[in-house]
Each structure stands twice: as C-alpha cells, then as structure tokens.
Structure 1
Amino acid sequence: MILRARFCHHFPGKPFGLEAQYKNLMDLLKQTAVQGESNSVLIVGPRGVGKTMLLKSVLSELMEMKYIKENLLQVHLNGLLQTDDKIALKEITRQLQLENVVGDKVFGSFAENLAFLLEALKKGNRSNSRPVLFILDEFDLFAHHKNQTLLYNLLDVAQSAQTPVAVVGLTCRLDVLELLEKRVKSRFSHRQIHLLNTFGFQQYVEMFQQQLALPKEFPDERFAQEWNRNIQSLCKEKMVEDILQKHFNSSKDFRSLHMVLMLTLSHVTVSNPNIQPTDLLAASKQYMMDSKANLLHGLSVLEFCLIIAMKHLNSIYEGEPFNFEMVYNEFQNFIQRTSHSMHKFKKSVVLKAFEHLQQLELVKPMDGASVRTQKEYQLVKLLLDKSQIMDALQKYPQCPTDVHLWAASSLE
C-alpha cells in the first residue's frame, strides 16, 4: 500500500534531484505559515516533471508541524475545472467552509467578496489572521478569465499584506508571464521555481531504486530489508538496465516512471513476493503498447481490407491524400482477384465501414476540405504506418490468407 500510494502521488517521498527547489519552496511557504508573510511563486516545468509531487511533498512535511497544521488553510483550484471567476469564488468559499457566513449577502464586486471571505478568517486582529495557501494548478488557464480578476485580486492581497496569503501557481508554459495583464504582472513577486529533467541515466536508475525501496519505519522490518536487497540486485540485472535505458531515452519524467512501476507492482503476489526482471519487461511492454495498433485488432475483415487498400494507395501516391472512391476501387480490384474467398459487399456497406474508420480516428479528413464536397470525394489521410499494420495483421484472429498476401504485396 505504501508503494501504491507513492506511485499514485498520494504520499510522495522527497523528490529525487530537486533538493534546491524543495528547499526554496519550503522556505517560502514557511514564511507565510509561521511568520505571516505574504508571497507568490510560480512552479514551471514540462508535464510529468514532478511539479505536483514537489508541492505535495513540501506540504506533507509542513503539515507535520503542529502549529502549521492547526492554522494553515489550503485552497486548491484548477484551471481546467474553475473555468471562470464565479465558479472559482464558489469553490474558494466551499473549501474555506464559509458558505454559512456568506449566506445570501450580495457583493458589488469580486474584490469585495474575496475581501469579506478573508476577513471572516481573522481571529480578532491582523496578527492572529489564519494564513491561506492558494494553489492554482494549470495557472496559465486562469489568465484567460475575463479581466484576469481572480489573479489580480489574489496577487493584490498577497502584495498588500492585508492577510497572510501565499499564491502558488503550477504551469507547464515557460511564457506564462507574457499572458498576464500589466496590472496583474506588477503585483506578482516574479519568483519562479523551474523544474527540468537534467539528470543522467545513472541518476535515473537510482531514482528507480529509491521509488521502489520500502522506508525504515515499515512495520515488518525483516521483509523491508529483504525487499530492498532484492531491488538493489534487480537494478544490476542487464535486462532491467536495458528496459530502463529504453524508457530513459523516450521519456524520463516522474509520471511515466511511476506508471511503469505501478504496472510492475501489480505482478507481485503472495506466490511471487519479489519483483522479477520479467515483471518489469511485461509492465514496460504494457506501458509502451501502441493504442492505435490495438484498435486494429477489433476491426472487421472488411475494415481491415480498407486499411490495407489505403496503405497501398500511400505507396502508389507517395503519401498524398486520397478519397473513398480511390479506396473503393483498390478494394474492388482485390475482390475481383480473390472472388472465390471474399464475400462481395455493396458500396453503401463499404462506405459505412470507411466512416467507422474515421470515427475511430484511424483515418483523418484533410484540413480545409470544402463543406460542399461529397463524402465519397473528400480527401483523407491514413494515420497508421506499415509496421503498425503488419504487427496487427500477425495477431488478427482468423484472417483470410488472401488478405495476408495482399497486405504483404502492398507493403513491399
């Protein structure tokens, strides 16, 4: 359960390789939580780099301090969910549990409403005001709100030190400051914590070992020691090293590593209490599985034939777009050559199958196609390559031999 919680970001340990950023954020939030100073900061980095994990691990450590746990209030907002300021304000009220205080009061502006909410948190005087931490995930999306009212008011409160407030924004956009209005930008502290995957492969292996290791305080000390020894020996296996190297080359972020580790952990059972190299190999194959190729396994023989016909057209016209009529003609030529083994389909049935491939997004209409163009003549493009089709064909159940031979001939 400890490892599952760790991989699902419910209980992250200290982030690997982010010690400087960890200390920076910890000091900043302590200033707000303990000393009552207002701050604002942006955590910037690509998706999966560990922004949320860094913030959660800092908050986890902060909440172990009794004074902070009793006083610090947290408000979590997400730009994907709180799409306008009205929704955001309702969510702030709900998370601060001030619905009864607000009641049916009518406010003239967003600023008055927010000021009233923060005022309601005070315990008498300013020195006893409870610090509030505002966490804005997908920070750049809040910049698209009308007049950026939410950002302006939060940063204005933080700058004017009316109430101890910390505003922490998480974003993957490096140009996020360019999205802010001048009045909003002037109230932002311009503190930024950048997260980048700059570590090498050896550090990646260490991170893999650290994430799988059980902590010292694990209830069964003997099992934890044996488990950790097994993980150490696992990291020295050539197969494991090759698998990790492959993942490191494709994507070395925390999120993808955690996903692979979660899939690996699912192979651990009572009869198989330790992770084997084959478990990691199976998890790696499952993680790197081609989703588009998997869709091909569920197609009918007719739909698969149309895919092969389109691939044949790609070879003939060197990747140029084509339309349904061209695909249908190619398919008809194949049917005529194999009339004894393949059932003949009406054109309307073939068109229906073609449209189903478009719905599955295996075939994409070309941009800028005229609305008036009949669907039979609309230009399209196939979103599959040769290797994906051949791999899927090998695994396709009870595929006619003629279709196999046709696919091989069209992919030479």
Structure 2
Amino acid sequence: MESNIKSIREYLKQKLLRTSNFSGSETVRNQLYDLLQRTIEHGESNSMLLLGPRGIGKTRLVNDLIRELESTEFLKNDFILVKLHGIKHTDDRLALKSITFQMNLENAVDGKIFGTFAENLAFLLACLKTGNKHSSKSVIFVLDEFDLFCAHHNQTLLYNLFDISQSAQTPVCVLGITCRLDVVELLEKRVKSRFSHRQLFLYPGVEETDQVSNLDYALERIRHYIKLPDEIRFESLNGTKNQWNSKIDVLLKDKKFRNIIQRLVDLDLNERTLRTILINCIFDLKDACPFFTLDKFEQEVNALERDDIVQVLQDLNVLELCLIIAMKHHSEIYDNQAMNFEMIYSRYTIFTNKQSNIQAVQRPVVMKAFEHIEKIELIGMINPANSWLQKEYQSFQLLITSEQILEAVNNMNGLPTEVVQWANSSLV
C-alpha cells in the first residue's frame, strides 16, 4: 500500500508541477494566435499588450502559442523569437545585447556589435529594416514585465521597436506582458503615438459566454489534476487507482467540499493558487493518510485566507501591541481622527497605572516601540511635509482595522489577560 501511495503521489506531483498548457479564455487565445500567425504568415507588423493579474497564465499562454507555431510545419522556420524580461534586462543596453544574441547577429560585422549602445542600436535597426515583408523572416519580440521597460532612460528601445512595427519592412510583432492595467499611461508621448493600442485582457474564471459557473470550472480543474486517468498504468496499482478515483468522485459531490471551493473561488480564481493548494495536499499523503481528504484541503484554504496583517500583529511584543490597542481605542472614540505619540503615550500610561500586573516602561523605550510600529507601516504619517516637527507631535493615522487587531489579540498565546480584556473593552 505504501509503495502505491508513493507512486500516486509522484505521478500527481509531476502532473501539477509540470502543467504548461494554458486553460482559460479561448477568445483571448484565438485572438492572440491570429495576431502572431498574421505576422509570420502574411508579414503584418503588429504590437499588442497582454494584461491580467499575476498568476493567471499570461506567460503560459504565450509560451503555449509559440510552441504551437513552432510545431506547425510551414511556419516553424519563418520566424525568430526574441524574449526579454523586465527584471533581467534592467536597461536598454542589456536588452539590446540579448536581442543581438538571440537573433544570431553578435558576429555579423567584425565585432562592431560590441561597441557603444548607439552603434549597437543603429546596427540592429539596420538589420531589421533591411529587406521587405515578403523575403524577411518575421521577428516576434516578447517583453515580459513590460511595465519595467517603461522605466528605462528615454524608453529608447520601446520607441524603436514600436516604430519598426509600424513600418512595411521586416515584419515585427512586439508583444508586451504585464499586470499593470495603467501601463499605457507609463509610455512617453512619442512612444505612445507609435503603439497600436491593441490590448488583450485575461480575467480569472470562465468567459461570460460559457455555459458553466466558476464553481463548476474550479471543480473540473480539480478533477483534471487529481484524478488518475484510465490510460495510466502502474505496477500492481489498478485496485488502488480505482479506489482513489472513487473517493475523488465522492469528494467532488460533497456539499461541504463544494462550499469550500466556492469560498476559494470568491477569494482567488487564479489557477496557480489552486495548483499550490493541491500540491500541498498531495505532499501530505502518507501510509497513515493515503487518500485526498476534505480536512486537509480546508486547512490549506484557511491558510490562504489568513490575514497577513494579523500575523504581523501577532509577531509584535506586548508593549507594541499595547500601543496598537491604545491607537484602536483612540480611533474608535474620535472617529479615526489624527493621533500623535503624546496622545497614545498618555492613554498607555493610564492603562498601566490601573493595572498592577503590567509593568510601566520608560518613555524612550515606548518611543522606540512607536517608531517600530511606524516602520512596519501599521501607522502612517498624515502630512509628510510636517516631518520637521518633533516626533512626539507629528500626526499619524492607523492603517489597520479594529477587527484585525482583535483577531490578533484573541488568537495570541501567552498574552496577559489584562491586555486581552483592554483590547476587547469599549471602556478606556
């Protein structure tokens, strides 16, 4: 039995980790494929931005389409792919060297390509502008984290790529991938005028035209990932495989499980998130617990729902937490009006004077705790222009909610009872 579970675990782990094909909007997929195909087959120059939240599969979609084009017999030798990444290529010089290398032009003219940035750019543009759309190979530029390229000096590279994409010479497709929905506003005026303003948006979930709900879509993806297909054969595993699939079918119909999936769908529709949860569940399989369970899945969803701010609050020491509670009471009494250190210190002092079990702390130590709370951005200065004021009199506002504070306090272990009662009390 243990070897069977190990085989199942290894198979499902590889399936989840190596999933590369895009599953999502067919409309977006078809539009993007059509754009790339027209560039390669008909020599049409284009530019486009692919936008959507992180983890939704933008890069996976592009890679999927490129693989499909490379496997097409009459297209695979008709284009050159150039991939750039905003995190790796931090300036135009690095990007240009990478383009030159990927286009196999680095040794074209006696080492001239390794000269200045201006010479490199001039040579590259000359290569791209030589010939015509009928005799030249198409060049597809994929710029991942496109918004980071907008921070380059004068946006020289973007300007020239978009400029070439408007010409009738070498067919060029410039495809930018980003999660910034306002990325067009980051372009300089001269760059924006040469951009085609084509934009494709990827959204979580299924298309509105599909006759399936987001809940059913999520359930189908889970079924796809964790059911063992009939064509898969393991040594001495058929009985266990049938038992595994039977339990998965029962689980997918379970009302509580479907409610948990609905919570997950409402929270985060990204397939990357779903796969992460499933991977954690699969890793937990062992001989003592050989099957995929609802309890483990619910535990992973609960961990996803956990508020990071609450975790930060629970990492504070007692003094810092007391100051946060004092700020909470101040905000509730004065309807979120501004506060300063003197106000909070006075409220904290009143509390410690009333509690014989709470040791008072010297003022400089309290100031250090207050500054740490500001540093980790639980409070924020209202008017930075007043930073010339003494720290004690600068105005701040609380950047977290009372609910987050209460959740952190009530779930902390070893916190003095007086502090817990103070946090939950409306009397200050």
5 Å matches for 1:222-301?
A: 222=238, 229-269=246-286, 271-301=288-318
Match of 1:206 among 211, 217, 220: 220
Question: Which runs of structure 1 show a deviation greater than 6 angstroms over 4 or more consecutive aligned residues?
Answer: 125-128
The answer for unaligned runs of 5 or more in structure 2 is 1-9
Offset of 1:388 from its aligned partner?
Answer: 2.1
- Whether 1:153 and 2:160 are equivalent positions in the alignment is yes
Partners of 1:76 and 1:351 in 2: CA distance: 51
Q: Structure 1: which amino acid aligns with 2:221?
A: M
Which residue of 2 is the match for residue 338 of structure 1? 355
Match of 1:137 among 127, 141, 144: 144
Offset of 1:207 from its aligned partner?
Answer: 3.5
Which residue of 2 is the match for residue 399 of structure 1? 415
Match of 2:23 among 15, 19, 35: 15
Taking only the aligned residue pairs, the percentage that are identical comes to 40
Offset of 1:172 from its aligned partner?
Answer: 3.9
Structure 1, residues 127-152: CA drift from partner, whole Å, max 9, x if none?
77554321112334434544443223
After TM superposition, the structure 1 stretch with the greater mean CA deviation from structure 2, 313-322 or 283-292, is 313-322
Question: CA 1:286–1:70 in 2, change beyond 3 Å: closer, same or farther?
Answer: farther
Structure 1, residues 290-331: CA drift from partner, whole Å, max 9, x if none?
111112222222222212222121222121121111111111
Match of 1:104 among 88, 98, 114: 114
Q: Answer whether contact 1:143 1:180 (CA < 8 A) is retained.
A: yes
Q: Answer whether contact 1:366 1:379 (CA < 8 A) is retained.
A: yes
Which residue of 1 is the match for residue 50 of structure 2? 43
Structure 1, residues 351-397: CA drift from partner, whole Å, max 9, x if none?
11121222222222223351221111212222332332222223322
Q: Output the TM-score relative to the length of structure 2.
A: 0.80
Match of 2:373 among 343, 346, 357: 357
- Whether 1:115 and 2:125 are equivalent positions in the alignment is yes
SS in 1 for 2:397: strand
Which residue of 1 is the match for residue 320 of structure 2? 303
Offset of 1:161 from its aligned partner?
Answer: 4.8
Match of 1:74 among 65, 81, 84: 81
CA root-mean-square deviation: 3.6
Question: CA 1:188–1:322 in 2, change beyond 3 Å: closer, same or farther?
Answer: closer
Q: Answer whether contact 2:53 2:179 (CA < 8 A) is retained.
A: yes
- Whether 1:89 and 2:105 are equivalent positions in the alignment is no
Partners of 1:57 and 1:228 in 2: CA distance: 29
- Whether 1:375 and 2:387 are equivalent positions in the alignment is no
Offset of 1:170 from its aligned partner?
Answer: 1.9
Offset of 1:154 from its aligned partner?
Answer: 2.0
Q: Answer whether contact 2:353 2:360 (CA < 8 A) is retained.
A: no
Question: CA 1:77–1:406 in 2, change beyond 3 Å: closer, same or farther?
Answer: same
Partners of 2:351 and 2:189 in 1: CA distance: 65
Q: Answer whether contact 2:51 2:202 (CA < 8 A) is retained.
A: yes
Question: CA 1:411–1:395 in 2, change beyond 3 Å: closer, same or farther?
Answer: farther
5 Å matches for 1:17-32?
A: 18-32=25-39
Which residue of 1 is the match for residue 6 of structure 2? none
Offset of 1:281 from its aligned partner?
Answer: 0.5
Q: Answer whether contact 1:386 1:411 (CA < 8 A) is retained.
A: no
Q: Structure 2: which amino acid aligns with 1:11?
A: T
Q: Answer whether contact 2:355 2:418 (CA < 8 A) is retained.
A: yes
Q: Output the TM-score relative to the length of structure 1.
A: 0.82
Which residue of 1 is the match for residue 69 of structure 2? 62
Partners of 2:243 and 2:76 in 1: CA distance: 36
Match of 2:364 among 345, 348, 351: 348
Question: CA 1:231–1:62 in 2, change beyond 3 Å: closer, same or farther?
Answer: farther
Q: Answer whether contact 1:11 1:57 (CA < 8 A) is retained.
A: no
The answer for unaligned runs of 5 or more in structure 1 is none
After TM superposition, the structure 1 stretch with the greater mean CA deviation from structure 2, 34-43 or 350-359, is 34-43
Question: CA 1:44–1:217 in 2, change beyond 3 Å: closer, same or farther?
Answer: farther
Structure 1, residues 269-306: CA drift from partner, whole Å, max 9, x if none?
45444321112101101111111111222222222221
Q: Answer whether contact 2:44 2:133 (CA < 8 A) is retained.
A: no
SS in 1 for 2:384: coil
SS in 2 for 1:132: strand
Partners of 1:303 and 1:32 in 2: CA distance: 60
Question: CA 1:274–1:95 in 2, change beyond 3 Å: closer, same or farther?
Answer: farther
SS in 2 for 1:318: coil
Partners of 2:192 and 2:399 in 1: CA distance: 43
Q: Structure 1: which amino acid aligns with 2:304?
A: Y
